[in-house]
Amino acid sequence: MKLAVRKQKQRYEYIFYQDTPEELDTNPDELSVEYEELKHLWRKNCGRYKTNPNHHFHISRGMIRDNQVFQISEITDNWKIDNPPKFYVIREIHKQGNHKFVDMAELYFCPHCEVYCRSQNSIVLPFKLWKKLELSNLPVSNPIPEITS
């Protein structure tokens, strides 16, 4: 007698984006009446937005001229169906007297605001340190051998 073996679904699903996904493309027109109404609604419904108006993630905030986005990835936990996916963004920014930094931000979906917001697990590195690490140019230590038949 054979027992049926149920294959488990892979836990995480990864999607890497070339362009900014629609969920993160929130560049508000700060002079519009609709945006002012939304801000009032967010202040009323979300405690984090009430204490921190920078709670929402705007991909262009802090970026100037030729700053670039290195990577945008979406990670979905398939075992927790109720949770929306998280986004991870690595980008160049300028702040504090025109100093260049690399911002590695983890974004979660805020159920009160209904937009993606920066989590507390974000890291900002000076660009000089980032260049010394050269994360994008690291060689693969153990390449996968080709299968020949």
pLDDT in tens, the chain (149 residues): 444 444 556 888 899 988 888 888 777 666 677 888 888 888 888 888 888 878 888 888 888 888 889 899 999 988 888 889 999 999 999 887 878 999 999 999 998 888 899 988 888 998 888 888 865 554 444 444 455 54
Beta bridge partners of 92: 102
Q: Is residue 3 part of a domain?
A: no
Query: How many other C-beta atoms lie within 10 A of the C-beta of residue 42?
Result: 20
pLDDT on residue 142: 46
Q: Does residue 108 lie within any of the structural domains?
A: yes
Output the pLDDT for position 49. 86
pLDDT of residue 136: 57
Q: Which two tokens stand for residue 113?
A: 């605001």
- Residue 98 domain-assigned? yes
Is 100 part of a structural domain of the chain?
A: yes
* Run of H or E including 34: helix 33-45
pLDDT at 141: 44
In terms of residue numbers, what domain contains 37? 12-25+33-135
Q: Which phi and psi (to 5°) does residue 70 adopt?
A: -75, -45
43 domain-assigned: yes
Q: Is residue 107 part of a domain?
A: yes
Q: Quick check: is 146 in a domain?
A: no
Q: Report how far residue 49's alpha carbon sits from residue 53's, in angstroms, rounded to the nearest whole number.
A: 5
**Inside any domain, residue 144:** no
The single-letter code of the amino acid at 39 is: K
Residues 6 or more apart whose CB falls under 8 angstroms from that of 122 comprise 103, 104, 105, 106
3-class DSSP state of 66: coil
Q: How many domains does the chain have?
A: 1
Mode of pairing for the β-strands spanning 12-17 and 86-95: unpaired
Give the integer Cα–Cα distance in Å for 89 and 106: 7
User: pTM of the full predicted structure?
Assistant: 0.76
